[in-house]
Amino acid sequence: MIDPLTLALVGIVVAIGSVSQRITGIGIALISTPVLSLVFGPATAVPLSNIAALMLNLTILAGAIRLVDWRRAVTIAATAAIVIVPVARGLRDVDQALVQVTIGIIVLAAIALTYWLRGSRRPMRDTTLARISAGAAAGAFGVAAGLSGPPLAVYAAGTAWRGPTFVPTVQAASAVTNVIAIAAAPRVEVPFSVWVGILAAVGAGAVLGSVLAPRVHARHVENAALLLAAGGAVTVIAVAVH
């Protein structure tokens, strides 16, 4: 059983992440995974985050699938698929506190690298190797910490990839990654109210994000999401090492 206040917190966090992802392409895992890890523990939080992200991936794709850059999406998704199963097997006996610390460090490192690459005057070349590297990192981080989005954000920042294809293409690649990561993870057992709350939060966040997308600057939303994620990551690390 989960108390109403905690359930409301989970719903708010997932909704904020969903708004961010609908506008910028990333956000739900970055913002929600640290909080879900504190509430349910990493073993439940990671697959739960992946399930919420998959719901959102499909919701966004339903209205924007025609804009997907399939060459990018297939390369990233195929590489991610290759690394997910071996990483999942290697993590089965890892201490949960260590996983929590790793989640926090991954989030902070991805945020720092994203800001650093944004400030670079010479973007990286968008090569096949860059896409493969992004896909491999997305797969590994997705199954280990529910964080397939940050490596894709780093890749996008490094190659200066923006425009109308970015958000739907990231959703297509992430959907494949999330499906495989969910299949490779242990079964998630949480109260029915949690599933209802997450589904409602994802739907509300996607709708609100669609309304706000034409009215707000995506960079401002992304900055806010990164700051929230950083705060959550620091909290997760502090709790794990306490």
pLDDT at residue 104 in the model: 79
43-89 pLDDT per residue, tens: 888 889 999 999 999 999 998 999 999 999 999 999 999 998 888 88
Q: Quick one: pLDDT at residue 30?
A: 79
On whether the CB atoms of residues 36 and 49 are closer than 8 A, the answer is yes
CA-nearest of 172, 199, 186 to 47 is 186
* Per-residue three-class SS string for 93-133: CCCHHHHHHHHHHHHHHHHHHHHHHHCCCCCCCCCHHHHHH
Question: What pLDDT score does 242 carry?
Answer: 67
pTM for the structure as a whole: 0.84
| Cα–Cα distance measured from residue 138 to residue 75, given in angstroms and rounded to the nearest whole number | 12
| Amino acid 121: pLDDT | 67
Asked whether 17 and 225 are in contact (CB, 8 A), the reply is: yes
pLDDT single digits (tens) 216-239: 887 787 777 677 777 777 877 887
What is the average pLDDT value for the chain, to the nearest integer? 86
Mean predicted confidence (pLDDT) in 35-46: 85
Query: Positive or negative, the Cα torsion across 152, 143, 171, 103?
Result: negative
pLDDT interval class at 115 (50, 70, 90): confident
Tell me, rounded to whole angstroms, the distance of Cα 159 from its chain centroid. Answer: 19
Q: Which of 48, 38, 91 is nearest to 234 (CA)?
A: 38
In this model, does residue 202 exceed pLDDT 80?
yes
Is pLDDT of 91 > 90?
no
Q: What is the pLDDT of residues 151-185, one digit of tens each?
A: 887 888 788 787 788 889 999 999 998 998 888 88
201 vs 232: which has the higher pLDDT: 201
